[in-house]
């Protein structure tokens, strides 16, 4: 895109360089700006904290590999909380790429807390066509997922004892980078009344607020910032918290760039008019 215009080449690349600096420097020097926990994230934390031990939580990895830097810290924080509270965690994915990510995350965090596969957590695997899969789980989980991710019969695992459908599930955490968390609201919350916890990319944050106000979702954890807040609540510094300083400087850079760009525009316009 730069080859056709020599002058563009410079400005554009200078801005790219500024962006890289704005992100790299805070990551190296770590000023450690104070972090505020929002009510939306606190609500999720309180809800999970209030669940009785052994409650079943479904965590659905409804994202693609493209948003991993946002989704992984989020899933890690929520999983740590669930395992710390001794909840039973059932993993699944409604997008194919979330499948491998989900399996790896569950095993890694499960091992951190010495949890047994099949006893304390399980990974059911992937199902296509979100709305249909969500509805099917509302009727009979063992019919929807006859086998786990690697093909072993699901009914053989102790965690599945007494787990039939959403009636036995305390909450569904949807770690999503698109509109699948909305599908969970539309099809699982509305129809079956199950509690939905959206852990989503920042891109989708504003679209979830109407459901927050109408209490169709428990709370809202959005983006790397949401993950950082959760890490703070768990008293554990992770990738998200360490990224927050860079997030701040990069935002300031963007705002400054918009301001300069507009000032230049108004100057030029003013010049033309006079």
Partner 1 sequence: MDISTTIAAILTLAIYSFLYRDNPVYKTAEHILLGVSVGYFVVITISNTIIPKLIIPLFVDGELIYIIPALLGIAMLLRVTKQFSHISRIPLALIIGVGAGIAIPAYMQAHLIAQMKATMLPLSNISNIVIIIAVLSVLVYFFFSRKHEGAFGVTAKAGIYFLMIFFGSTFGYTVMARISLLIGRIQFLLGDWLGIIR
Partner 2 sequence: MTDKVLYIHKPFLILLILTLIPFSAQAAIDTYDTPNDGGNSITVTWGGEVIAQSRDKFTSLDIQRQKVAESAGWETAAVLPVTDSVFVDDSVKDNIPYKYRIVFSAPEGEALIFESEPVKSSPQFFNTKRLNVLIGVIICCVILFYYIYESRKGKKFYLRPIGGLQAIDDAVGRATEMGKPILYSAGRGKMQRVATIASMNVLSSVATKTAEYNTPLIFPNSEPVVAAVAQEVVYEAYLKAGHPDRYNPDDVFYLTDSQFGYAAAVDGIMVRRKPATNLFIGTFEAESLILAETGNSIGAIQIAGTDSTIQLAFFIVACDYFLIGEEYFAASGYLSKDPMVLGSLKGQDWLKIIVGGAIILGAVLETAGIGFFSKLFGIG
Partner 3 sequence: MYRRIPLIVCFIFGAFMLIQFFVPHRVSTEFYEMTLEWAQIIYAFALLVGALMLMKHHAVNATRKSSDDRPFSIIVIAGIATMCIAGLIWGHGEGTVFNWFFQNVQAPMQSTMFSLLAFFVASAAFRGFRARNTQAIFLLIAATIVMLGRVPIGELISPVIPQVADWILNVPSMAARRGIYIGIALGSIATSLRVILGIERTYLGGS
Only one of the segments 36-44, 47-55, 105-113, 181-189 lies at the binding site for partner 1 (rule: CB under 8 A); that segment is: 181-189
Read off the tokens for 11.
């400005």
- Interface contacts to partner 2, rule CB under 8 A: 1, 3-5, 8, 164, 167, 190, 193, 203, 207
Which of 48, 73, 79, 103: binder of partner 3 (CB under 8 A)?
A: 103
> Is 86 within 8 Å of 54 (Cβ atoms)?
yes
Nearer to partner 3, 55 or 136 (CB): 136
Q: How far apart are CA 15 and CA 131, in angstroms?
A: 42
Helix 39-49 to helix 68-84 angle (10° resolution) is 40
Cβ proximity to partner 2, 62 vs 76, nearer residue: 62
**Interface with partner 3 includes 111 (CB under 8 A)?**
no
Cβ 20 to partner 2 shortest distance, Å: 18
Question: Which value, in Å, is the radius of gyration of the alpha carbons in the chain?
Answer: 22
For position 136 contacting partner 3 by CB under 8 A, the verdict is yes
Token code pair at residue 248: 């701040």
Q: Of 4 and 28, which has the nearer Cβ to partner 2?
A: 4
Closest among 149, 195, 141 to 172, alpha carbons compared: 195
- Residue 151 interacting with partner 1 (CB under 8 A): yes
86: how many CB neighbours lie within 10 A of its CB?
A: 14
Neighbouring C-alpha atoms within 13 Å toward the C-beta of 143: 10
* Partners of 197 in beta bridges: 173
Contact residues toward partner 3 (CB under 8 A) are: 11-12, 15-16, 18-20, 23, 33-36, 38-39, 64-69, 97, 100-101, 103-104, 107, 127-129, 132-133, 135-136, 139-140, 143, 149-150, 191, 205-207, 209-210, 212-213, 225, 244-245, 247-255, 257-258, 260-262, 265
């Amino acid at each position: 895109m730069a080859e056709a215009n020599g002058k563009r080449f410079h400005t554009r690349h200078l801005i790219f360089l500024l962006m890289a600096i704005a992100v790299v420097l805070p990551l190296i020097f770590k000023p450690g700006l104070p972090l505020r926990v929002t009510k939306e994230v606190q609500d999720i934390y309180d809800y999970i904290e209030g669940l009785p031990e052994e409650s079943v939580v479904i965590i659905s990895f409804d994202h693609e590999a493209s948003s991993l830097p946002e989704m992984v810290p989020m899933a890690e924080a929520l999983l740590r909380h669930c395992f710390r509270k001794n909840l039973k965690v059932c993993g699944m994915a409604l997008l194919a790429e979330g499948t491998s990510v989900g399996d790896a995350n569950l095993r890694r965090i499960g091992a951190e807390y010495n949890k047994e596969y099949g006893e304390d957590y399980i990974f059911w695997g992937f199902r296509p066509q979100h709305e249909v899969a969500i509805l099917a789980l509302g009727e009979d989980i063992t019919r929807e997922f006859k086998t786990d991710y690697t093909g072993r019969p699901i009914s053989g695992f102790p965690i599945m004892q007494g787990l039939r459908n959403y009636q036995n599930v305390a909450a569904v955490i949807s770690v999503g980078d698109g509109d699948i968390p909305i599908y969970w609201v539309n099809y699982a919350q509305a129809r079956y009344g199950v509690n939905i916890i959206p852990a989503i990319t920042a891109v989708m944050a504003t679209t979830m607020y109407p459901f927050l106000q109408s209490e169709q979702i428990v709370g809202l954890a959005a983006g790397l910032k949401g993950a950082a807040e959760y890490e703070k609540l768990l008293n554990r510094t992770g990738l998200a918290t360490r990224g927050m300083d860079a997030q701040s400087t990069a935002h300031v850079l963007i705002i400054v760039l918009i301001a300069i760009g507009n000032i230049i525009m108004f100057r030029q316009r003013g010049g033309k008019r006079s």
